[in-house]
Amino acid sequence: MLKPTVFDQITDKAPGYYVVVGLLAVAIAIGLVSAYTMETSGHHITGMSNRIVWGMPHVFAVFLIVAASGALNAASISSVFGRTFYKPLARISGVTSIALLIGGLSVLVLDLGRPDRLIVAMTTYNFKSIFAWNIFLYTGFMVIVVVYLWMMMERRMARFTKAAGMTAFLWRLALTTGTGSIFGFLVARQAYDAAIMAPLFIAMSLSLGMAVFTLVLFSIFWWSGKPIGSTISQRLGRLLGILIAAVLYFVIAQHLTNLYATEHHGIERFILIDGGVYTHLFWWGQILIGSLIPMYLLFKMAKCPCMVMGAAGLVIVGGFAQIYVIIIGGQAYPLLMFPGMEVTSSFFDGGIAAYAPSLPEVLLGLGGGAIALLGIALAVKTLPVLPHSLANADIDPDYTPPPEPEPEPEKEEAAGEDDEAPEAAASS
């Protein structure tokens, strides 16, 4: 019989907690200074131009927002699909989700040409704009997840957990659909204007969010010396592997569809064959590093939390590559204004647009990431969101003590590993 999950904070077990918080604060300060410089000097100091109108800040923002939705996976699986195994992870899952969203939105807002007019964006709406819908989807998501966390953490409200979880689940699907549709609705550009953007972004959110969540969770456990076992590692690892495959499926569907239509051959050739940095990022970054290698690690060596962490890190790298190719590669390819003609002008019509990320942009993006991490760090210190233990004995109802051979095929490995010892997880 499984013991009831005990939740706690990381208290004083994590060494150098305040150093980490301090470093994150410094990273945020640097991000803010970068944003301030961009606003005062004007965006000409960035790599962005009138051809590449969205740059690195948007890559970071979209990554963080998409990952925010996916970080809620564990909570959704527990509340909506009733898998009790994931219940101990639900709280930290919600916290990670909110933190990532705040980080992503901060980057998006700070990159605006007129961030001082945020109040205009919050009070004046054009309801035909998917951007305007997204403002509601993002703020609404934050409120819903806060309520959801409250239902989970307040015993008297526990009976509403399922309803709150279901609302959050449906809302996050809408949110990611909205984010994908920012691109999907752009009729003008060859690289976008496709309904598959919405499901592709949902799949990306599942995979990237899971990767960030797993990395964050395991890192906190390793850092604070909490026990973590092979069962959780295997479960989360396999799930992540499947989600990566789902993204790959949509990527294949997207490119196959485009490859079939002659009018899209130009953009496909650009991304897949001769797009220079974008082609490299696609094949090496997104496909090899971000998909194939992590899938191998996750399906073959998921027992070890360190392997899952490594794979999650690669998925994050691949995710950045993918979003970079979508956002910046999509803009670099010229608009098709005069089909069949070679177009030249002082406004760089016709050619592939050049873009080199500038330091302020990257620092702003990293600052957004730091905001997310700082949010998580503060939450795990002050709120009982972490399960006391993720050792096999504490979370696996089918767990049998080590001397007994496990019904798993890789039994000699499982038997050889002392799963409950936190040191084992930390050192491996």
Partner 1 sequence: MSKCAKHCPEIAPNDAQNAIDPGRRRLLAGAGALTTLMLAPGVSLMMSGAVEARPAGVAASAKIRWGILIDVSKCPDGCDLCVTACKDENGWQETGRAETNVQWIRKVTLKDKNTGAIKTLPFMCQHCAEPPCVDVCPTGASFKRADGIVLVDKHTCIGCRYCMMACPYAARSFVHEQVTNQKPHAPRGKGTVESCTMCVHRVDKGQIPACVEACTKAGNRTMIFGDLNDPNSEIAKAAGQHLTTRIRADLGLDPGILYSGL
Nearest approach in angstroms of CB 61 to partner 1 is 11
Nearest approach in angstroms of CB 192 to partner 1 is 8
| Between 29 and 120, CB nearer to partner 1 | 120
Task: Round to whole Å and give the CA distance between 218 and 305.
Answer: 7
- Amino acid 406 reads E
Nearest-5° angle of CA 138, CA 141, CA 146? 130
- C-alpha dist (Å) from residue 377 to 202, 317, 371, 383: 27, 22, 10, 10
- Burial level of 246, CB count in 10 A (0-12/13-18/19+)? middle
What is the total residue count of the chain? 428
| Between 174 and 236, CB nearer to partner 1 | 174
Nearest approach in angstroms of CB 92 to partner 1 is 33
| Between 113 and 276, CB nearer to partner 1 | 113
Nearest approach in angstroms of CB 1 to partner 1 is 53
Structure tokens at 281: 């990022």
Nearest approach in angstroms of CB 67 to partner 1 is 21
Nearest approach in angstroms of CB 193 to partner 1 is 10
- Amino acid 141 reads F
| Between 130 and 426, CB nearer to partner 1 | 130
Nearest approach in angstroms of CB 378 to partner 1 is 29
Structure tokens at 179: 């984010």
Task: Round to whole Å and give the CA distance between 149 and 210.
Answer: 18
| Between 33 and 135, CB nearer to partner 1 | 135
Q: What DSSP string describes 407-419?
A: SSS-HHHHHHS-T
| Between 7 and 185, CB nearer to partner 1 | 185
| Between 44 and 156, CB nearer to partner 1 | 44
Residues forming the site for partner 1 (CB under 8 A): 39, 41-44, 49-51, 53-54, 112-115, 117-118, 120-121, 124-126, 128-132, 135, 182, 185-189, 331, 335-338, 340-349, 354
Q: Name the nearest CA neighbour of 68 among 92, 28, 27, 102.
A: 102
- C-alpha dist (Å) from residue 13 to 8, 179, 180, 384, 391: 11, 38, 40, 14, 17
Are 127 and 114 spatial neighbours (Cβ–Cβ below 8 Å)? no
- Burial level of 345, CB count in 10 A (0-12/13-18/19+)? exposed
